[in-house]
């Protein structure tokens, strides 16, 4: 499997915040969701991927080339939407598009004009006078018209209404389908990424909690109802994220990396597995963070 982004042993520090041995592997052609609460390190990691920050240690490869050593040639092939718009507030929508197009030989004018129409953007309006949703649409237009092989999108739909989010996500899915491009998208809106991502990574407090295909995370995170379990359970074949008593002698466990054949583990434990309950991605995300934080506290 080839990777559009590879990160190994990445370390970075800014004040009291630190990235600690971060490793990520974004498959080429995937839509890769980067999940985590605000302040977990997602934006910092993305800025390091783009060469906007310099790491203390580690290796970053983007589109097969080392970053930041080959930064200029890499960035010519990457579309970027930052968390906060960075465009000149005194320019009109048309002036911004014309200015941006001058920097990219791959600029696709028909795509830009089509998105301008579909997003219902007024080309004569100053950027400063656009709504938050209109600014987000313009940022996506600029990234897509560049025709990059990789899109790096930092919370591109945060705070937008459902109609604007739908328009943006539809445009992104069409782009991936047509160009076979890779999307590396961060968000704390778990339910949104669940609808279209192939892979997900979860970050918390500067560390990667997990990196896994989306379906494997959804299928492998379960809530179990267990009766008669002893206090000490040895080393189970799955990851116990949390364990708490419920009515009577039963307990509720949340586990990761679950497989159906692991039911037999409870026979050897002298316990009985009463129920296996599926969790959606948001529940699984919350439980992963709870388990990660509990293990660090312990």
Closest C-alpha among 111, 114, 43 to residue 83: 43
Closest C-alpha among 182, 172, 116 to residue 148: 182
Give the mean model confidence (pLDDT) for residues 136-151: 95
Pairing of strands 199-204, 207-213: antiparallel
pLDDT at residue 20, as a whole number? 92
Long-range CB contacts for residues 132-139, cutoff 8 Å, separation at least 24: 132/159, 132/160, 133/160, 133/161, 133/164, 135/85, 135/87, 136/85, 136/160, 136/164, 136/168, 137/164, 137/167, 137/168, 138/87, 138/93, 138/96, 139/81, 139/82, 139/85, 139/87
143 phi-psi bin (left φ>0, alpha ψ -120 to 50, beta other): alpha
* pTM above threshold 0.75: yes
Give the mean model confidence (pLDDT) for residues 110-129: 96
The pLDDT-based confidence of 106 (bands split at 50, 70, 90) is: very high
51-60, 90-99, 138-147, 181-190: lowest mean pLDDT where? 181-190
Domains of the chain in start order, with CATH, are: 3-214 (3.40.50.300), 216-297 (3.30.70)
The pLDDT-based confidence of 187 (bands split at 50, 70, 90) is: confident
The pLDDT-based confidence of 38 (bands split at 50, 70, 90) is: confident
Q: Do the beta carbons of residue 198 and residue 213 sit within 8 Å?
A: yes
Give the mean model confidence (pLDDT) for residues 171-196: 88
If you average pLDDT over every residue of the chain, what do you get? 91
29-33, 41-45, 110-114, 228-232: lowest mean pLDDT where? 228-232
Q: How many helices (H) and strands (E) are present in the chain, helices listed first?
A: 10, 14
Q: CA dihedral in degrees (70, 177, 220, 222; nearest 10)? A: 120
On the question of pLDDT at 297 being above 70, the answer is: no
Give the mean model confidence (pLDDT) for residues 57-82: 95
User: pLDDT tens for residues 242-294?
Assistant: 888 887 778 999 898 899 999 999 988 889 999 999 888 888 888 888 877 87
């Amino acid at each position: 499997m080839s990777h559009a982004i590879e990160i190994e042993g990445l370390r970075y520090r800014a004040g009291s915040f630190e990235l600690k041995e971060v490793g990520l592997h974004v498959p080429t052609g995937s839509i890769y969701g980067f999940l985590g609460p605000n302040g977990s390190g997602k934006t910092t990691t993305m800025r390091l991927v783009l060469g906007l920050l310099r790491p203390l240690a580690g290796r970053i490869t983007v589109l097969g080339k080392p970053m930041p050593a080959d930064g200029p040639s890499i960035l010519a092939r990457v579309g970027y939407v930052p968390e906060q718009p960075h465009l000149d507030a005194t320019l009109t929508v048309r002036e911004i598009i014309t200015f941006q197009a001058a920097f990219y030989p791959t600029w696709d004018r028909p795509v830009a004009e089509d998105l301008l129409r579909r997003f219902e953007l007024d080309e004569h309006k100053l950027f400063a006078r656009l709504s938050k949703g209109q600014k987000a649409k313009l940022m996506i237009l600029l990234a897509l018209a560049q025709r990059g092989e990789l899109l790096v999108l930092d919370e591109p739909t945060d705070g937008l209404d459902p109609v604007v989010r739908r328009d943006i996500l539809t445009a992104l899915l069409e782009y991936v389908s047509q160009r076979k491009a890779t999307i590396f998208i961060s968000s704390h809106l778990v339910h949104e990424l669940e609808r279209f991502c192939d892979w997900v990574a979860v970050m918390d407090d500067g560390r990667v909690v997990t990196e896994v295909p989306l379906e494997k995370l959804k299928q492998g995170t379960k809530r179990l109802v267990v009766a008669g379990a002893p206090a000490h359970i040895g080393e189970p074949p799955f990851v116990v994220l949390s364990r708490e008593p419920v009515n009577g002698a039963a307990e509720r466990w949340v586990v990761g990396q679950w497989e159906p054949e692991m039911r037999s583990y409870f026979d050897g434990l002298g316990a009985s597995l009463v129920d296996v309950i599926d969790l959606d991605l948001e529940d699984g995300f919350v439980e992963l963070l709870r388990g990660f934080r509990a293990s660090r506290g312990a």
